[in-house]
Amino acid sequence: MKRTALTGLFLTAALMGSPVFAADDLCGANLQTLKDAHTSTSTNLSADSKAELEKTIDAAEKAQAAHDEKKCIELTTKEITDLKTGGDGSDGGTAK
């Protein structure tokens, strides 16, 4: 529970701290949020959750490089939502 609350608080602060980016480049802002979450919570994530996060970041960066903003936003938004809901299942969230 504590980890989910801290992760949610961090992600909320990150999203609220960059509304200008979100308006112009939601893909880039979401990618930065995921990278920040990876850095700050990597010790608290299960191996599966960490691997999924890294996989999503990689796929989103490839979509961004291919100028497929829609795919990048789709991938990153889903991953952010999964992180906010405690996607690894260790504290009552839904398992990935």
- Residues 24-35 have pLDDT tens digits of 589 999 999 999
| Nearest residue to 42 via CA among 51, 33, 32 | 51
12: which 2 tokens? 């909320």
What pLDDT shows up at residue 45?
78
CB 64 within 8 A of CB 72: yes
The stretch 12-37 carries a mean pLDDT of 73
pLDDT band of 92, cuts 50, 70, 90: very low
55: which 2 tokens? 């996989």
Q: Which residue has the tokens 């789709």?
A: 74
What pLDDT shows up at residue 96?
44
CA atoms of 20 and 79, how far apart (whole Å): 21
The average confidence (pLDDT) of the chain is 77
What pLDDT shows up at residue 87?
54
